[in-house]
Amino acid sequence: MKMHGLGNDFVVLDRRNGGPAVTAALARAVGDRHRGVGFDQLAVIESHDTADARLVFFNADGSLSSACGNATRCIARFLMEETGKSSLQLVTERGTLLAGDAGGGLTRVNMGAPLLDWAEIPLAEATDTLHLPIEGDPVATGMGNPHCSFFVDDAEAVDLAARGREIEHHPLFPERTNVQFAHVIGPDHLRMRVWERGTGITLASGSSSCAVAVAAARRGLTGRRVTLDLDGGRIEIDWREDGVWMTGPTAHVFDGVLTSDFLESL
């Protein structure tokens, strides 16, 4: 299936009834926008004994990702429509995530509690995660994957391709990092742009949205419930006691079948 959340696009492979093993090579081939299908992330749905499904995520470069908020939301909408349920439990490397119907065609997912300790994010050394020793004074946050969030005067003016690539590979982040640049529009309202680890510039990112909202609240720039305007649209983040809830739209674009010739060419 091809899906997207605010233009952050995914290929979703449903392996609940079997199918080829998903390898880094397969992820890279499917992710090629000229010779494959193309995606920001690839998500795999697998069966699970106690939850509604297990989800596994790959970046476009074939590397694994522990979290992908927009893909989780898209898959949750698909599974709710398939089963008639209004709430789900989805197992990821991040843990078991709760998802549900938010009304008005919107879907919500609890992305879990943010990781704020340097070792959990992880960083390469003990560091104040609220003020990293990097030019621009960013904030580090873990949402199952690492994030580096900059608060600037104008996110539109940032050279996202250059700065995103540079910060992704900063030595302070041993597992590389997602990078965001944001500015305050108004009370509890932010404009954000995203560079995703292993993918590059994307129109939106669910886990990045969660990380920026948490970072903004910790800095005192906003409260804990925030609206974010991304290149692909608007998302709502609510940092509650039980975790960071993300609410937004989803889209199921088409279904397809990978041909045997394509699979055998890998």
How many separate domains does the chain show?
2
Task: Please give the residue range of the domain that contains residue 206.
Answer: 139-241
Give me the percent of the chain exceeding a pLDDT of 70: 100
Q: Does residue 115 form part of some domain? A: no
Give Cβ neighbours of residue 36 (< 8 Å, ≥ 6 apart).
29, 30, 262
Confidence of residue 66 (pLDDT cuts 50, 70, 90): confident
Q: Does residue 75 form part of some domain? A: yes
Q: Specify the pLDDT at position 180.
A: 98
Give me the percent of the chain exceeding a pLDDT of 90: 97
User: What is the number of other CB atoms lying within 10 angstroms of the CB of residue 227?
Assistant: 16
Q: Are residues 154 and 211 in the same domain?
A: yes
Q: Are residues 224 and 256 in the same domain?
A: no
Token pair 């349920």: residue:
85
Q: Specify the pLDDT at position 67.
A: 87
User: What is the number of other CB atoms lying within 10 angstroms of the CB of residue 44?
Assistant: 23
Q: Specify the pLDDT at position 19.
A: 85
Q: Does residue 186 form part of some domain? A: yes
Q: Does residue 131 form part of some domain? A: no
Q: Residue 228 sits in a domain of what CATH number?
A: 3.10.310.10
Q: Specify the pLDDT at position 143.
A: 96
Q: Are residues 145 and 80 in the same domain?
A: no
Q: Does residue 70 form part of some domain? A: yes
Q: Does residue 175 form part of some domain? A: yes
Q: Are residues 182 and 256 in the same domain?
A: no
Q: Does residue 123 form part of some domain? A: no
Q: Specify the pLDDT at position 92.
A: 95
- Looking at residue 251, its amino acid is A
Assign residue 80 a region: left if phi > 0, alpha if psi is -120 to 50, beta otherwise?
alpha
Confidence of residue 170 (pLDDT cuts 50, 70, 90): very high
* Per-residue model confidence as pLDDT tens digits over 228-256: 999 999 999 999 999 999 999 999 999 99
Mean pLDDT of 91-101: 95
Q: Are residues 214 and 166 in the same domain?
A: yes
Q: Are residues 101 and 162 in the same domain?
A: no
Q: Are residues 169 and 72 in the same domain?
A: no
Q: Specify the pLDDT at position 20.
A: 83
Q: Does residue 126 form part of some domain? A: no
Residue 140 has pLDDT above 90, yes or no: yes
Q: Are residues 213 and 260 in the same domain?
A: no
Q: Specify the pLDDT at position 173.
A: 98
Q: Are residues 225 and 188 in the same domain?
A: yes
- Average pLDDT, whole number, for the chain? 96
pTM: 0.93
Residue 153 has pLDDT above 90, yes or no: yes
What number of residues does the chain have? 266
Q: Are residues 173 and 226 in the same domain?
A: yes
CA 255 to chain centroid? 22
